[in-house]
A and B are shown apart, each in its own frame.
Chain A
């Protein structure tokens, strides 16, 4: 079973994402900020990461940049999921190593389609 780490400081968003992603066959782990997510990845590198941008302690972009320096950290497919919706921000995320990008608000259909577009399904 593929694993996905859901990183978001909102418990509600994590719960919604978990439900959708479990339905399409992922095993889910959760983290509430980038630092927690990094700790998760050091224990067990997931196949996919659904990543919020604005979070306390460590934001999503910094997490992504740090992740890519880790051993095995090139492997996970990263899908941003954030209220940030300017073209500059999207380009920055892709240049930093994200594969897909979801602008909040989203629904199950979008989440599934974006995971398909990222080659995860």
Chain B
């Protein structure tokens, strides 16, 4: 790729989605764009970028940005966090909500493993919380990821990453070498494409929001704005879960550490609530 195309790509990703693209990692960037160029019938990445430069095709531009998002994820990534959510956070939130649904949002859900892990954890917590109701929301910048997430279908490799065998047999059915999450869990999740740099106030309030392994890929200024946007959507007792050691309270005064080693934050009461 030419230096001009790399600069254009970095600028598009930064301005439209707050994504930080390291332009010296040319090989990595090309490995992301090559499949897109093929899919869109361009002869090369250069031809793809020439079309992007013309700027006439908004869909293509977003496809390029989406191709640059990281969507490497596993079930129950950082296991300890999910144990804490199941054993401590979900029971506490369920009591707070007194039978009203606990609203949980996986804000960068990629191919769905995180939000389905939450739903499985809630199933297990439910035994001790017979009256609890949970609502799950998954959002991502990438339509392609959302489509896969929504299908609830995973390869044999994917279901072996992070998912203990007893949870696999409890929550999945197999069709040849494809594994389908149970309809009960799949139908409990609602999906939407969300760009976290946009205004989030239309999405409602949530009792738990997860944004894990995303901040390191965001431009720091944008990262702070995203955190403040999410803080504004937390209910008064809500918690924000970031990846371990991703900062949070250091980036914005809107957050107060609750369990920083696990990446768990609450909204600082002094931070103005979203309108």
Chain A residues engaging chain B, CB cutoff 8 angstroms:
85-87, 90-91, 94, 100-103, 106-107, 109-110, 113-114, 116-117
Contacts and interface: CB of A to CB of B under 8 A. Distances in A.
Given A85-B174, A100-B164, A117-B164, A110 B169 contact: no
Contacts of A110: 157, 160-161
Nearest to B174: A87
> Which 8 pairs show the lowest CB-CB distances between chains A and B?
A101-B165, A117-B164, A110-B160, A103-B156, A100-B165, A90-B169, A87-B169, A87-B174
A86 B174 contact: yes
B84 to A, nearest CB: 17
Nearest to B75: A113
B73 to A, nearest CB: 13
Nearest to B163: A117
Instruction: Identify whether the interface residues of A are mostly helix, strand, loop, or mixed.
Output: helix
Instruction: Identify whether the interface residues of B are mostly helix, strand, loop, or mixed.
Output: mixed
A113 B157 CA distance: 12
A45 to B, nearest CB: 23
A75 to B, nearest CB: 20
Interface residues of B, number: 14
A50 to B, nearest CB: 14
Contacts of B169: 87, 90-91, 94
B217 interface: no
Contacts of A117: 164-165
B163 to A, nearest CB: 8
A94 B165 contact: yes
B184 interface: no
A11 to B, nearest CB: 23
A114 B79 CA distance: 12
A90 B161 contact: no
A94 B157 CA distance: 20
A117 B166 CA distance: 10
B162 interface: yes
Contacts of B161: 109-110, 113
Contact of B160 (A91, A94, A114): A114
A94 B165 CA distance: 9
Given A90-B165, A94-B166, A113 B177 contact: no
B177 A85 contact: yes
23 contacts: A85-B156, A85-B174, A85-B177, A87-B169, A87-B173, A90-B168, A90-B169, A94-B165, A94-B166, A94-B169, A101-B165, A102-B160, A103-B160, A106-B160, A107-B157, A110-B157, A110-B161, A113-B161, A113-B162, A114-B160, A114-B165, A117-B164, A117-B165
